[in-house]
Amino acid sequence: HMVDGRQKRLLVHRKGATRAFPPHHPLIPVDYQFTGQPVLIGGTMGTCSYVLTGTEKGMEETFGSTCHGAGRARSRNQSRNKLDYNTVLENLKQKGISIRVASPKLVMEEAPESYKDVSAVVDTCHMAGISNKTVKLRPVAVIKG
């Protein structure tokens, strides 16, 4: 990595982030040499997910890192206490998303309302130039438990 204009060997610890190397980087497989390293950004069971790719700017400014998701907006305990199981299921059904779950409490803990807006997080990374939006994915089924 370049640090203060000099090449340095570093150990990069990514807490809350994931590796996203740019096109032509020697540590990514040959299949991704022209696109950059693909990064899967999971949304919630009721929102989209994304595939991003690494950029040269991301390599320079973040040591080849980008987000790995949106993060929680509510604790699991807050979600269990504030959200209604049937309302969450109905909202998913209205979006055309099927769900199978082992425990009702998992539904509230992982409800879309329990997380920050993944699209806003991904848009921020894209606009900052540290990763590129490549593909947007829509959920059709959820299995929890």
Q: Which of 13, 24, 68, 126 is catalytic?
A: 68
Phi, psi of 49, rounded to the nearest 5 degrees: -125, 170
| Other C-beta atoms lying within 10 Å of the C-beta of residue 65 | 23
The reply to whether 13 belongs to the active site is no
Q: What is the DSSP string of 100-130?
A: EES-HHHHHHT-GGGB--HHHHHHHHHHHTS
Which residues are part of the catalytic machinery? 68
